[in-house]
Chains A and B, each alone.
Chain A
């Protein structure tokens, strides 16, 4: 009998985490072994195709720029090595801040109740109806250039609502549960009940919500970048796509320029989705398949 078979040994979870780690590894290894100066304008010949392809001018791809270059002479590999971790970073940071806010507000609302609960609930319900992109576009166009961290902070202002609601609901139902009553009988403090009795049982939900938030945050960040907003001086996947579209890469058949960043974003989302599905199976044993 395999008694210690952990539900965390989940193939979907592993594939998803593997994909994301691969993107992080690309950033780290790339920084070590690739010349990042190639990300500056004019560092390379213009519009070179990836190795093994030919562009409209009949130029062949070269190993010095293995996945081609863009319209202003930047090496795409260098752009991706810098840009892919940046996009992931914005997503993770925004989600982390949003989650922390959500945990704090959700616990406050569920535990304190009364007026506090009313305010937090109404606030999160109203915020959930406002499309974040709309506000962010306005804010960022007024702001001009922003840093990655600043963008993450702005996005975080729009991803705390759903964890707040989720945690509030769970806290409300857990507050009535037998083991919380038992803990109160045992003379446990409010802090102990919140963080030692309730929070551990929320972990699978928190993880799930966190990953969903990372996805939302990345989508929002890329959305802004593709519109030409967001950080102006730092290469990101979204900005690369924006420049490709702006320079007419679609008409000139420069598919690698927009295609490779898009492919990378796709992989990132698939990774996040797999992690989310895996976590779902971890927290909900009914979804687990029998061997």
Chain B
């Protein structure tokens, strides 16, 4: 007996510019105890499908055809009050960014109680208490967690509270919409394990919505691939990943960067030997730089020196809160270090004359994480490219600025006629991020800080954008600090990798050693926690995620940094 049958489902969104078909003729079904994954890029209709099943489609979207059956009930014709009782009891939805959907002014146990009381009426106090205790234990949370407020819990714990809430009434179907999108790999593995355990225990069906092929391979039995609201492939996960029929699926599978294996960068044009810096001075130096925020050390003292002799890509990897973004903003001079100095070509960036400061700005540029925020919505995108170009005195005439913008766009694979003169909201995230790379290219800095440049871009575009960035080094001689949580991409693009944990460098060296054969337990854990797009490969080895996290907490924080070798032009020293 299927828990959910979706037949020929179509969803339309009427807009001022005509009707958008968000979903066209989608059919699939899920049986009890099975796990189905829906994978696709942003805008492919995955969340829309889930919301339609919950009958929570946002206006003006509406179901224009097809049917949704939940067991023996027709969801689309159910009266509203019965639909309300169906939600959570028979089908529950764990929304995207669920950790932000908890009510910040209520204790989490009260939010769970609300759910029980709303569906089952007044319940005995003791019975309620045991059920809550069971629910928290079921997702691996300590009992006292219930009496806390959401802001007192970590992201992973909040996510597990949301899972507890989703399954507290033992529904037939649980829909989890990108349940781990904001979590780092270690926590992601723990949350996914929790979700799988709970789902198996209550015997419900699970629909997992996501964009990560690796996560899907490790979690679901069956896979639905959506593209622009159309189902392009549906089948057994193993079959879809090993023998994808549709070219789009093939592209999705291929776009997952792997540690080891073939580089997704392809063969690059022969690297040109470009030396643009003064030989005698290091391009960028940290001298015992430390950063504290309100008594907490975000970055422990470290020194490094990057010479400008030859362009290098240095990766800084770590979980959220490891201090990697702090390092980036210190390098950009946005955030002064608490102690120590940052030197650019031998000069302290905190003590520069306006003239020197301009030279520093000109030569140290950045690509940020969020391509949506990087453009001022008031101006056409040309402003972001042309303004710094003029400001730094590169411009000789308007025509020249125009020419350079055209060239830069073409260099990152964008059609300038389609992109320039547009407003930012008319472009996709991927196009915007490539424009930011094009901007860096136009300014031709000596150093580029790339802070998670692809984490908010669709998977199929990540490789292209990383390739664009990689080309900056090869063909323009720009050194790059690549800040990321994604070890697989760091493995491929970088010359040197630093692994940060709680503000300390735990392991550093060339990527083949550090990521290919990690020695430090933290690096080993990070790499074991990557979900591989290979159903045969065990996720995380023999230990459970909870054990790993416990081991991590018990880890000796004063253990010395494991140095795994050097590359010429970069020296790292960790002060004590």
* Shortest beta-carbon distance from B87 to chain A in Å: 25
Q: Do A185 and B388 have beta carbons less than 8 Å apart?
A: yes
Q: Does B362 contact A (CB under 8 A)?
A: yes
Give the contacting residue for A187; candidates B15, B372, B374, B391; CB below 8 A.
Answer: B391
* Shortest beta-carbon distance from B388 to chain A in Å: 3
Q: Does B376 contact A (CB under 8 A)?
A: yes
Q: Does B384 contact A (CB under 8 A)?
A: yes
CA distance A279 to B387 in the complex (A): 30
CA distance A181 to B374 in the complex (A): 8
Contacts of A64 in B (CB 8 A): none
Q: Does A118 contact B (CB under 8 A)?
A: no
Closest partner residue, chain A, to B449 (CB atom): A185
Q: Do A290 and B16 have beta carbons less than 8 Å apart?
A: yes
Q: Does A8 contact B (CB under 8 A)?
A: no
With A186-B387, A187-B388 as contacts: A291 and B16 at CB distance below 8 Å = yes
Total A-B Cβ pairs within 8 A: 62
Q: Does B334 contact A (CB under 8 A)?
A: yes
CB contact list, B26-70 vs A, under 8 A: 60
CB contact list, B128-155 vs A, under 8 A: none
Q: Do A181 and B334 have beta carbons less than 8 Å apart?
A: yes
Q: Does A177 contact B (CB under 8 A)?
A: yes
CA distance A144 to B88 in the complex (A): 69
Q: Do B376 and A185 have beta carbons less than 8 Å apart?
A: no
Give the contacting residue for B14; candidates A2, A186, A290; CB below 8 A.
Answer: A290
Q: Do A187 and B334 have beta carbons less than 8 Å apart?
A: no
With A5-B16, A187-B388 as contacts: A197 and B361 at CB distance below 8 Å = no
Interface flags for A170-205 (1: CB within 8 Å of B; 0: not) read: 000000011101111111100000000100110000
Interface flags for B350-385 (1: CB within 8 Å of A; 0: not) read: 000000001001100110101011111111000010
* Shortest beta-carbon distance from A90 to chain B in Å: 33
Q: Do B388 and A179 have beta carbons less than 8 Å apart?
A: no
**Chain B CB within 10 Å, residue with most, of A1, A178, A291:** A178
Interface flags for A260-291 (1: CB within 8 Å of B; 0: not) read: 00000000000000000000000000001011
Q: Do A185 and B361 have beta carbons less than 8 Å apart?
A: yes
Contacts of B377 in A (CB 8 A): 179, 201
CA distance A177 to B369 in the complex (A): 12
Closest partner residue, chain A, to B17 (CB atom): A1
Closest partner residue, chain A, to B358 (CB atom): A187
CA distance A187 to B388 in the complex (A): 7
Q: Does B332 contact A (CB under 8 A)?
A: yes
Q: Do A186 and B370 have beta carbons less than 8 Å apart?
A: no
Instruction: Specify the main secondary structure of chain B where it touches its partner.
Output: loop
Give the contacting residue for B388; candidates A177, A186, A201, A290; CB below 8 A.
Answer: A186
CA distance A200 to B378 in the complex (A): 7
Contacts of B332 in A (CB 8 A): 185
Q: Do A178 and B15 have beta carbons less than 8 Å apart?
A: no
Closest partner residue, chain B, to A200 (CB atom): B378
Q: Do B373 and A179 have beta carbons less than 8 Å apart?
A: yes
* Shortest beta-carbon distance from A2 to chain B in Å: 8
Closest partner residue, chain B, to A184 (CB atom): B334
Closest partner residue, chain A, to B440 (CB atom): A185
Interface flags for B164-200 (1: CB within 8 Å of A; 0: not) read: 0000000000000000000000000000000000000
With A181-B334, A181-B368, A197-B376 as contacts: A188 and B16 at CB distance below 8 Å = no
Contacts of B376 in A (CB 8 A): 179, 182-183, 197, 200-201
Contacts of B392 in A (CB 8 A): 186-187
Q: Do A178 and B361 have beta carbons less than 8 Å apart?
A: no
Q: Do B374 and A178 have beta carbons less than 8 Å apart?
A: yes
Q: Do B370 and A178 have beta carbons less than 8 Å apart?
A: yes
Q: Do B373 and A177 have beta carbons less than 8 Å apart?
A: yes
* Shortest beta-carbon distance from A49 to chain B in Å: 51
CA distance A197 to B370 in the complex (A): 18
Q: Do B60 and A290 have beta carbons less than 8 Å apart?
A: yes
* Shortest beta-carbon distance from A183 to chain B in Å: 8
Closest partner residue, chain B, to A186 (CB atom): B388
With A201-B377, A290-B14 as contacts: A185 and B366 at CB distance below 8 Å = yes
Contacts of A1 in B (CB 8 A): 17-18
CB contact list, A94-114 vs B, under 8 A: none
* Shortest beta-carbon distance from B85 to chain A in Å: 30
Q: Do B334 and A179 have beta carbons less than 8 Å apart?
A: no
Contacts of A186 in B (CB 8 A): 361, 387-388, 391-392
* Shortest beta-carbon distance from B540 to chain A in Å: 35
Q: Do B378 and A187 have beta carbons less than 8 Å apart?
A: no
**Chain B CB within 10 Å, residue with most, of A177, A186, A197, A291:** A186
Give the contacting residue for B368; candidates A2, A178, A197, A290; CB below 8 A.
Answer: A178
CA distance A216 to B455 in the complex (A): 48
* Shortest beta-carbon distance from B55 to chain A in Å: 21
Contacts of B17 in A (CB 8 A): 1-2
Contacts of A188 in B (CB 8 A): 387, 391
CA distance A230 to B433 in the complex (A): 59
With A178-B373, A200-B378, A201-B377 as contacts: A187 and B16 at CB distance below 8 Å = no
CA distance A2 to B384 in the complex (A): 26
CA distance A3 to B375 in the complex (A): 20
CA distance A288 to B378 in the complex (A): 19
CA distance A181 to B325 in the complex (A): 14
CA distance A291 to B376 in the complex (A): 29
Contacts of B373 in A (CB 8 A): 177-179
Contacts of A178 in B (CB 8 A): 368, 370, 372-375
Q: Do A187 and B368 have beta carbons less than 8 Å apart?
A: no
CB contact list, A113-127 vs B, under 8 A: none
9 contacts between A and B (CB under 8 A): A1-B17, A5-B16, A178-B372, A179-B374, A179-B376, A185-B332, A185-B388, A188-B391, A201-B377
B interface list, Cβ under 8 A from A? 14-18, 60, 332, 334, 358, 361-362, 365-366, 368, 370, 372-379, 384, 387-388, 391-392, 436
The 3 closest A-B pairs by CB, nearest first: A178-B373, A186-B388, A178-B374
In addition to A5-B16, A187-B362, A197-B378, 12 A-B residue pairs with Cβ atoms within 8 Å of each other are A1-B18, A178-B368, A178-B374, A179-B373, A179-B377, A181-B366, A183-B376, A185-B365, A186-B388, A290-B14, A290-B60, A291-B16
